[in-house]
Structure 1
Amino acid sequence: MTAPLGKRLRREIRVRALLFGWPLLRVVPLGLGAALGWLAWYLVPRQRRLAREHLRIAFPEEDEAERDRIGRASFANLGRSAVQTARAQRLDIRTTVDLDPAGEALLREAHAEGKGVVVATAHIGAWELFARRVAALGIPCGTVAKEAHDPRITALLERSREQGGVRVFWRGAPLSAREILRFLRDEGGIFGILIDQDTRVAGHFVPFFGRPAFTPRAAGDLAAHLGAPLLFACAHRVASGVHRMVVRRIEVQRTGDRDRDSFLLTAAATKAIEEEVRKRPDEWVWMHPRWRTQAVDISEEK
């Protein structure tokens, strides 16, 4: 069904604005990107309301002023991240995202197991840059993404990621699932999946800040199906334009029941995400409707 004319016009304006603005973001100072994000806190009341609601859930012990400070900083981080993503091809990724020897060793040891490596990650800090840093190790790196509403935006995002050595698999595309399995099993690739948003995909209800949160299960499913290691990784900002990568292995007692193991792995990875968000709450996307889907009883997942 064709969308109403007004909606199509608004969508076209947004697409053209992004296509026009993307090259400009490459020359915008990071500070200006952060300032625009900070300004957005005051201009988008719905997202501001969601952020406040979620921060009350996560940090009931903090006062409203502190939660608002975190919320504004979160919006600023989005603006900063948009600029970094646009200029990613011009960055020296090895100095922009610091990966310490222990983190690199974890990645290489997991890769050496020969089953592919699944990495659960989140919208923390510079999430678009961490995959480029992994690709810089010389190991095949891929990620899954949802196609944009407009093919021009999809092409822009695909080109940006693949220029950084990151192969993109589009969710729902014909043969995509088979290609991902082949990438992991046959090519020994490292495959990153964002699992911290409530999206229209298969998922598990697992605890996140004390509440059941509907969480994409693809990372857990792949690791359970292939017997592959599951890692968690993110990149925290430590200075202007500089990030430090956090890598840890997700360890659970696997049962051999793929569905059960997928749940256990998803829950453990989500716990790792929460721990990192608690360290740097200003770097997460509080405006996302994380608890949108409600669970009748989280015990049903046990």
Structure 2
Amino acid sequence: MSDRSNSDDFHAHPAGKASDFLTNALIVGLIRLALALPYAARIRFVGWMVQKVVGPVAGYRARALDNLELVWPDMPKAERALIANRCLNNVGRTLIENYSARDFPQKMAKNVPQGPGVAALEEATAQGRPVILVTGHFGNYEATRAALVARGYDIGGLYRDMKNPYFNAHYVKTMEAFGGPVFPQGRKGTAGFVRHLKAGGQLVLLFDQHVYAAPVLDFMGLPARTAVSAAELALRYDALLIPFYGIRQPDGLSFECVLEAPIPPSDPETMTQALSDSLSARIKDKPEQWFWVHRRWRGDEV
């Protein structure tokens, strides 16, 4: 079954460099080709393409290997290479799943979220209390949001604009397609994000990318600048702070959606460190599912 629901957005024309335009054109071509395939074939195809072609050419494989060596210098090179390859495959699968704006939500609608955070979310929603759901670039971070939206939750999100404006213009549409409002980082986006939260809504945040001047916390045994905004918002608006994960299963197509127990309120850095510890445990268990391609550690942590 093909899924073309975002095709009209591929030709948005924001201002950008010629190299950005070319890169976006190549990505759009890959996405269009993939969306013409049956669902399972499309997921496997883009996973393979990012692992074998896009990732190595774009330098993502090299960056993943550098990060893996930084975190696990004693791990055999062959094992780090295997994790990097599987990481790229997961990145590709995640990309095309998020562009499958009809098929992917339909599949996730059959998924029943698990974990102690489910009951906490249900109780908070019944009371009109806001909830902040926090995760990292692990598995597919949209899988659980799609599963919850299918159960009637109005879950919004705050996103960071991609550096490539051509790609960003249509990628934002993929987040909107899963239901719930999405807000860009910045004054205007944050204002909308806060209004949704104050009204008792649920919001998703990803916290595992480097943020300049953010506090230095432990992540995977190394110092890493980490945004504490999710915890700050939770404290300010008496919102539950729930770690969650969409964990890819061995078939490469299905997911286990897990909501962990809420983080106890204390102070922003302590709460964020608890989030980092939660994500670190997930990565150690399934390292191939984290996006090692990001520049998480940049040498300015000391």
* Same fold, TM-score > 0.5, yes or no: yes
TM-score for both structures, normalised by structure 2:
0.84
The 3-state SS of whatever aligns with 1:290 is: coil
Q: What amino acid maps onto 2:293 in structure 1?
A: M
Letter in 2 for 1:74: C
Query: Structure 1 residues 153 and 55 mapped into 2: Cα distance closer, same or farther (>3 Å)?
Result: closer
Q: Does 1:290 align with 2:299?
A: no
Question: 1: distance between equivalents of 2:59 and 2:126?
Answer: 46
Normalization by structure 1: what TM-score?
Answer: 0.84
Query: For residue 206 of structure 1, what is the aligned residue in structure 2?
Result: 217
Rounded Cα–Cα distance in structure 1 between residues aligned with 2:68 and 2:252: 25
Aligned Cα RMSD in Å?
Answer: 2.4
> Offset of 1:90 from its aligned partner?
1.9
In structure 2, distance between residues paired with 1:119 and 1:248: 10
Shift of 1:47: 2.9
Q: How many residues align structurally?
A: 281
AA in 2 matched with 1:8: K
Q: How far off is 1:44 after superposition? A: 3.3
CA distance in 1, matches of 2:126, 2:109: 25
Deviation at 1:61, TM superposition (A): 4.3
Give the counterpart of 1:190 among 202, 208, 219: 202
Q: Closer, same or farther in 2 for the Cα pair 1:154/1:57, shift >3 Å?
A: closer
Q: What is the aligned-residue identity percentage?
A: 24
Is the aligned partner of 1:156 residue 2:170? Answer: yes
Residue aligned with 1:203, SS: coil
Instruction: Select the residue among 35, 53, 78 that pairs with 1:26.
Output: 35
1:41/1:156 CA distance change after superposition, 3 Å:
closer
Is 1:73 the counterpart of 2:82? The answer is: no
Native 8 Å contact 1:121 1:273 kept in 2: yes
1:286 alignment partner AA: W
Alignment counterpart, residue 263 of structure 1, candidates 247, 264, 269: 269
Rounded to whole Å, the distance in 2 between the matches of 1:250 and 1:212 is: 24
- Which secondary structure state, in structure 1, belongs to the residue aligned with residue 17 of structure 2? helix
CA distance in 2, matches of 1:62, 1:141: 39
- 1:237 match: 248
Tell me the amino acid that sits aligned with residue 276 of structure 1.
R
2-structure distance, mates of 1:198, 1:153 = 21
Q: CA deviation at 1:253?
A: 5.3
1:247 has 2:256 as partner: no
1:217 aligns with 2:204: no
Aligned-partner Cα distance in 2 for 1:138–1:45 = 39
Q: Given the superposition, is the C-alpha separation of residues 93 and 102 from structure 1 closer, same or farther in structure 2, using an over 3 Å criterion?
A: farther
In 2 relative to 1, CA 169–78 (structure 1 residues): closer, same or farther, beyond 3 Å? same
Structure 2 gap segments, 5+ residues each: 1-15
Given candidates 11, 15, 35, the residue that maps to 2:20 is 11
Shift of 1:158: 3.2
Once residues 17 and 286 of structure 2 are traced to their aligned partners in structure 1, the CA distance between those partners, rounded to angstroms, is: 38
The residue aligned with 2:64 is: 51
2:25 and 2:54 map into 1 onto residues whose CA distance is: 23
Distance 2:293 2:165 in 1: 26
CA contact (8 A) 1:116 1:190 kept: yes
Paired letter, 1:71: A
Matching residue's letter, 2:231: G
Superimposed CA distance per residue, residues 181-227 of structure 1 (whole angstroms, 9 cap, x where no aligned partner): 210111x1111111011145x63211011111111222111112112
- Residue-by-residue CA offset, 1:20-59 (whole Å, 9 max, x unaligned): 4433332342221221122047733743332222212333
Amino acid at match of 2:124: A
Alignment of 1:64-213 (within 5 A): 64-91=77-104, 92-94=106-108, 97-100=111-114, 102-149=116-163, 153-174=167-188, 176-186=189-199, 188-200=200-212, 203-213=214-224
